[in-house]
Amino acid sequence: MAKTGIVINHCIKGSETVLYNLRDVFNHSEIDFDELDLESLKGGYDFICSIGGDGTMLKTLRYYSKTGTPVMGVNIGRLGFLSLISPEQVKDLGDIIKNKEYSVKDRIMLKTSDKTALNDIVIKGHSTVRSSKFNLYINGTLMSEYIADGIIVATPTGSTAYGLSAGGPILYPGLEGIVIVPICAHTMTARPLVIPIDEKLTIKSTDELLDVSCDGQENIIGVNEVNIELSEYKAKLALPKDVDFYSVLKNKLYWGMSPVSDADKYI
C-alpha cells in the first residue's frame, strides 16, 4: 500500500476534528500514513491529504510539485476552490485512495528568482500608499507602460483568484496561458493580457523599488526588476473523479447565477 501523508494546518479552527476523523478512516482502511505539520513538510510519500483551506493547499502543492506527489485537499477554510473534499466526505477518503477513485491534474506554475507560484505573482511598488510606474517587457521587448497600484501575473489556476477580482479573465485550468492584469491602472487602455506560457516577462519600475508576492505567501522585498517565467515543475492536484471545473465554478463562485432568481442561495 502506498505511503500517505496528512498535512494539517493547526491554525484553522476545526482542523483537529477533521484529523481525528481521518485517522479513524485510514486506520480502518489499513492505509499507512504519517501526520505532517504545514510548517515542517517532508518528502517520501506517494499521496498527500491536505487539511485546511486554499492557502494550505497552495503551500502543500508547491512543495510536493518537486516530487510529483498528488495532493488532495479537505476544505475547512472559506472558498475551497482547490480543496474540494468537505469534512462530511472524509469518511469516503479511505476508499477513494485505496481504489484510486481520483484523477490527477497537472497545473502549471510560475517562477521568479528562487520562488514559485501556483496562483499568481503580484508586483507592487515599495511605497504601497500610492500608484507606481511599471514597464512590462515580453521577451525583452517593451510591451506596456502602466501607472497602476500593481501588476498580477497569474496562471490559469490563479485566474479565479486575485486576477479575477482585479477584472481579469477566467482561464480553463488545462490551458497553457499566462494572464497579466494591471491593478487599478490610470488609463482605460490598460486591459488584461493573455500570453503563451513560454514567454519571459520582465517588470521594472521607473521611479522606485518593487515588492513581489508569490501566492501571497512568499515575498521578495525591494528589487530593481522582476523576471518571471514558467516553472519546470507542475503541481499535481488530485480531484474526485466526479468533479469538473465548470461545476466548481458555478458552485463555488455562483458563476452565471442571477442574484434575483437564485436569491435564496445567498441567504
Distance CA 168, CA 191 (A): 8
CB 19 within 8 A of CB 51: yes
Residue 1 has pLDDT above 60, yes or no: no
In this model, does residue 237 exceed pLDDT 90? yes
Going by C-alpha positions, the residue among 202, 178, 243, 235 that lies closest to residue 113 is: 202
Domain spans, the chain: 4-100, 111-233
Domain 111-233 has CATH 2.60.200.30: yes
Residue from 24, 34, 37, 54 carrying the catalytic annotation = 54
Find the mean pLDDT for residues 26-54. 94
Q: Determine the longest span between alpha carbons in the chain, in angstroms.
A: 61
Q: Which CATH superfamily is domain 4-100 in?
A: Probable inorganic polyphosphate/atp-NAD kinase; domain 1 (3.40.50.10330)
DSSP code of 234? E
Band (pLDDT 50/70/90 cuts) for residue 254 is confident
Q: Confirm whether 198 is a catalytic residue.
A: no
Judged by average pLDDT, the poorest of 30-34, 98-102, 165-169, 255-259 is: 255-259
Q: How far apart are CA 237 and CA 61, in angstroms?
A: 7
Encode 171-195: b = buried (16+ Cβ within 10 Å), e = exposed. bebeeebbbbbbbebeeeebebbbe
| Residue range 109-123: mean pLDDT, rounded | 97
Phi, psi of 21 (to 5 degrees): -65, -40
The pLDDT score that the predictor gives to residue 260 is 60
Residue 210 burial (CB < 10 Å; 0-12/13-18/19+)?
buried
